[in-house]
Amino acid sequence: MITLLAGGTGSVKIARGLSKISEDLAIISNIADNLWLYGLYVCPDIDTITYGLANILDKERGWGIAGDSFMFLEQMKTLGQENWFRIGDRDLALHLVRTNLLKEGKSLSSITEWIRKSLSISTVILPSSDSHIETRIETTQGDMHIQEYWVKNHAEPEIKGIRYDGIKEANANTKAVELIRNSDLIVIAPGNPISSIGPIISLPSIRKELESRKRDVVAISPIIGNSALSGPASKYMEAMGIESSPYGVALHYEDIASNLIISEFDAEYEKKIHSLGIKTHKTNIVMQNVEDEIQLCNYIINKFNSA
Ligand code: FO1
């Protein structure tokens, strides 16, 4: 059994690849980029993984449904509403259903389970917590929700700090903790270490379980050289005082992972990473097509899940 810790756009390729190879895969999904919009509860990372596994994801954008239209959003603009966060017409259905079920008192995890079954997804998708946790970016232009920083403000304001509001009060999903305890292999997706994986591994019971399973935890670097494979990972890492490099990634996961998969071009970082007690494994980590996804996933399974 394999458990994957995942964000959204940076994690969906490995999620899709592993789901094709392993019938016994479960995904623990980040929830700290969730937001309330127009009275709807939107869960971008859960939805990106859901659409990716249902084969309806817009692969070019990395979020939303392929071929979706945005007429609802145009009408919202006509009605004087902000429209910087692009909810598609078909995507809207999921947010409506989820919000209604939440209002009926259902938990986010039971709703996510119901949705993935409705879309005939065999891989289990588990929110890391049923509580609301929110990544806030403190900038020179004020304190804002991560989506406001990334989508509305195009990651332009200077970052002063990043925090996860609600993390202290939140309980980790007990099923997620059990999954980590019982899996043969735990994979950390090449998602953003601060905004995607950070809020999952900062939940104390998940962190504790990962620490005790460290030997079976393998992380995939989202950084090659000093650059992120996608999104603002470098920016957030530097803002948190973490070097943007495979070594910085290793430092961030030092307590919870014993293996790090890095690019074949990053041999220069190996010695420093080994000094942390983390083994390195070099292969192609750029997934440009389905073949690349399968290649990386086969590499992981053959190397770490042969037991
Ligand atoms: N990302 C954008 O850059 N612009 C958008 O307008 C946008 C809309 C959106 C709608 C639904 C959804 O599930 C995701 C969406 N995303 C959008 C992606 C999202 O902002 C981030 O990429 C993830 O939250 C990163 O973890």
The residue-averaged pLDDT of 97-124 equals: 98
Ligand 1 proximity of 293 Cβ (cutoff 6 Å): no
Distance 53 CA to ligand 1 centre (A): 17
Judged against a pLDDT cut of 60, whether residue 307 lies above it is answered with no
Which tens digit of pLDDT belongs to each residue from 57-90? Answer: 999 999 999 999 999 999 999 999 999 999 999 9
Q: What is the pLDDT of residue 305?
A: 78
State whether the beta carbon of 85 lies less than 6 angstroms from ligand 1. Answer: yes
What was the pLDDT predicted at 230? 86
Q: What is the pLDDT of residue 119?
A: 98
Q: Check if 45 has its Cβ closer than 6 Å to any atom of ligand 1.
A: yes
Query: Residue 277 CB: number of other CB atoms within 10 A?
Result: 10
Q: Which atom of ligand 1 is nearest to the CA of 8?
A: 26
The amino acid sitting at 110 is S
Strands 142-145 and 159-165: unpaired
**Nearest in space to 290 (alpha carbons), one of 14, 3, 9, 92:** 14
Decide: 7 in ligand 1 pocket, CB within 6 A.
Answer: yes
19-43 pLDDT per residue, tens: 999 999 999 999 999 999 999 999 9
Asked whether the beta carbons of 38 and 219 are under 8 A apart, the reply is: no
**pTM for this structure?**
0.97
- State whether residue 229 is helix, strand or coil: coil
Query: Is the per-residue pLDDT at 265 higher than 60?
Result: yes
Which pLDDT score, from 0 to 100, does residue 68 have? Answer: 98
Q: Return d(Cα 269, Cα 142) in angstroms, integer.
A: 36
Side chain identity at residue 244, one-letter code: S
- Is any ligand 1 atom within 6 A of the Cβ of residue 70? no
Cα separation, 86 vs 94, in Å, equals 14
Q: How confident is the model at residue 306 (pLDDT cuts 50, 70, 90)?
A: low
Residue 281 CA to ligand 1 centre (angstroms): 31
**Does the Cβ of 9 fall within 6 Å of ligand 1?**
yes
- Say what the pLDDT of residue 88 is: 98
Q: Mean pLDDT across the stretch 149-177?
A: 97
| pLDDT tens profile 210-231 | 999 999 999 999 999 999 998 8
Distance in Å, CA 182 to ligand 1 centroid: 32
CA of 44 to the centre of ligand 1 (A): 6
Laid out side by side, the sheet with 159-165 consists of 142-145, 134-139, 159-165
Mean model confidence pLDDT for the chain: 97
